[in-house]
Structure 1
């Protein structure tokens, strides 16, 4: 095999790894974000189910699910404080 073919195959392989590797990484980040938003929606559902005895109801929408999903329990507590004291 001639050296030009070897160099060409190596360059094409590197290019393909760079293109597909970065695409898979961004898809992984999007997937993790969607999973966190779904977890936030479940947290809000359970808060609404348990908080109905105390008059706490936080609507489940994209913004509140994203806040509680990405911030976790502190985000859920912040949404509850906003709902109880501000609204």
Structure 2
């Protein structure tokens, strides 16, 4: 395994441990943050699909795209669009 991959996994474990710790400290606040992010992400994906219908572009509508769009906002939407155009075409 490469050194970069090990550091990536260490970073993922640290972030997940932090999120789990925050969830047990303030479960209602974290649940509200996740729910709000999902709703905002759904609205972003819906808007992209609505505008994209004019140029025959479609983002898949699933929990992963909604969470990505919700947590990352506009940069997340741009990343999803770039992945759709670059990787999945």
**How far apart are the structure 2 equivalents of 1:85 and 1:24?**
40
Equivalent position of 1:18 in the other structure: none
Equivalent position of 1:51 in the other structure: 52
Task: Please identify runs of 4+ aligned residues in structure 1 that moved more than 4 A.
Answer: none
Q: CA deviation at 1:24?
A: 7.7
Q: TM-score, normalised by structure 1?
A: 0.69
**How far apart are the structure 2 equivalents of 1:36 and 1:83?**
21
Note the alpha carbon deviations across 1:56-86, whole angstroms, 9 max, x for none: 2001110000000000000000000111121
Q: TM-score, normalised by structure 2?
A: 0.67
Q: Is the 8 A contact 1:56 1:83 kept in 2?
A: no
**Structure 2 unaligned regions, length at least 5:** 1-22
Superposition CA RMSD, Å? 1.8
As a proportion of its length, which structure holds more helix? Answer: 1
Paired residue total: 66
Note the alpha carbon deviations across 1:14-55, whole angstroms, 9 max, x for none: xxxxxxxx9782211111111111110111001000011122
**How far apart are the structure 2 equivalents of 1:29 and 1:55?**
37
